[in-house]
Amino acid sequence: MPDPPAGGQGEAEHEARIRVPVASAPVPDGLRSWLAPPTPTGPDSGVIEDPPRRRLVVTEILVVLTVTLGLSALRSALSLIDSLLATTPLSEQQVALNAPAAAATLVDLALQLTRVLQLVGWGALGAYLLLRAGFAMRDVGLDARRPGRDAAATAGLAAIIGIPGLGLYLVAHAIGISLTIAPTTLTDTWWRIPALVASALANSWAEEIVMIGYLLTRLRQLGWSPNPSLLAAAVLRGAYHLYQGFGGFIGNLIMGLIFGRYWQRTGRLLPLVAAHALIDIVAFVGYGLLKGHVSWLP
């Protein structure tokens, strides 16, 4: 949909128009409204009623997931099956999130950046399809209108997910249901930290655009109520982390539930992208700096 003139009544009308179709309808404050938000109904709900258009949206979702994170989920499930069939216990197997891809250092750098570009393309695909469907990026909360509140939300979400997530991983590894996760095994080259930061930013961009901004918006247009769409997206998020073991699945399932509900209730996507990036930067760069210097890292 075209953007109205900035400021004044046009801005207010735009806010009123996009709030209902994208996020959940306004509901009373309290825990119940977060656990079971109602499904908007009526002509202003944003639900696509035309059968041919609905079929096209379903096809579009399947294609997007097939070429992006849905295919990653299938590969991760097969990787976990292979790990379970091995004679070595899960906790004694290692998976590297950012591993060398070539012996020559500059070729390795080029391949690392190629992977970053692929992730950026995945997120751009989701954003482009939303634009084609009539949504501006601010309609899904990817804008800088609320820097103060978004910064506070970013810090809070990163703490809520990151700190318990580390604890969950350590427990899962200790009881043998998680592989040993090495956030990076890149050699100590001049480009290692910039490449790890770029990887973190690309991961957060791709996952939050596709799994939250795109998928939840499209499911909402198909008439899915908030809780089933939230659960579907969260399970898929957990599934494409199965290569890390069952701990990775559980941790990312919880992350998907929290992030998805935050978006459904606030309509703000930027804090999710930023919080995810912050979590990954701390994990990738922190691991590279701490490995070998602390005893509690597996």
How many whole angstroms separate alpha carbon 55 and alpha carbon 63?
12
Residue 21 domain-assigned (yes or no): no
Q: Evaluate whether residue 120 is within a structural domain.
A: yes
DSSP output for 199-257: HHHHHHHHHHIIIIIIHHHHHHHTT--HHHHHHHHHHHHHHTTGGGBHHHHHHHHHHHH
- Average pLDDT score over residue span 189-195: 96
Nearest of 181, 165, 123 to residue 253 by alpha carbon: 165
Residue 289 confidence (pLDDT)? 83
Spatial distance between the Cα atoms of 209 and 84, rounded to a whole number of angstroms: 32
Confidence of residue 3 (pLDDT cuts 50, 70, 90): very low
d(CA 256, CA 68): 17
Residue 124 domain-assigned (yes or no): yes
- A 10 A CB-CB count for 46 gives 18
Question: Structurally, how many domains does the chain consist of?
Answer: 1
pLDDT in tens, 234-259: 999 999 999 999 999 999 999 999 99
The predicted model gives 221-232 an average pLDDT of 95
* pLDDT at residue 29, rounded to an integer: 57
- Look at residue 296 and tell me if it is in a domain: no
CA dist 131 and 268 (Å) reads 17
Q: From the centroid of its chain, how far is CA 254?
A: 12
Most confident residue range from 7-21, 35-49, 87-101, 279-293: 87-101
For residue 58, the tally of other CB atoms under 10 A from its CB is: 12
Note the pLDDT of residue 77.
97
Tell me whether residue 225 is in a domain. yes
In angstroms, the Cα distances linking 258 to 44, 161, 233 are 27, 9, 11
Top-confidence residue, 25 or 172: 172
Main-chain dihedrals φ then ψ at residue 245, nearest 5 degrees: 110, -175
Q: What is the pLDDT of residue 21?
A: 47
In a domain, 164, yes or no: yes
Res. 6: pLDDT tops 80: no
Rounded to the nearest 5 degrees, what angle is found at the Cα of 111, between the Cα atoms of 107 and 113? 115
Q: What is the mean pLDDT of residues 16-30?
A: 48
Describe the crossing of helices 192-208 and 270-290 by its angle, rounded to 10 degrees.
150
Q: How much is the mean pLDDT over the chain?
A: 89
Question: Residue 133 falls within a domain, yes or no?
Answer: yes
Reported as type and span, the H/E element at residue 35 is helix 31-35
What pLDDT, in 10s, does the model give residues 116-134?
A: 999 999 999 999 999 999 9
Q: Is the pLDDT at 54 greater than 70, yes or no? A: yes
Question: pLDDT value at position 260?
Answer: 97
**199-212: per-residue pLDDT in tens?**
999 999 999 999 99
Domain-embedded: residue 42? no
Q: How far apart are CA 57 and CA 191, in angstroms?
A: 41
Residue that has been written with the tokens 């978006």 in this structure: 263
3-class DSSP state for residue 30? coil
pLDDT number for residue 1? 45
Residue 178 CA neighbour count, 13 Å, CB half: 24
Q: How confident is the model at residue 37, as a pLDDT? A: 75
- Give me the mean pLDDT over the 176-196 stretch: 95
Rounded CA separation 230/79 (Å): 25
The DSSP 8-state label assigned to residue 39 in this structure reads P
Residue 75's domain comprises: 47-290
Reported as a single tens digit per residue, the pLDDT across 254-282 is: 999 999 999 999 999 999 999 999 999 99
Q: Which two tokens mark 267? A: 């309509």
- End-to-end Cα spacing for the chain: 50
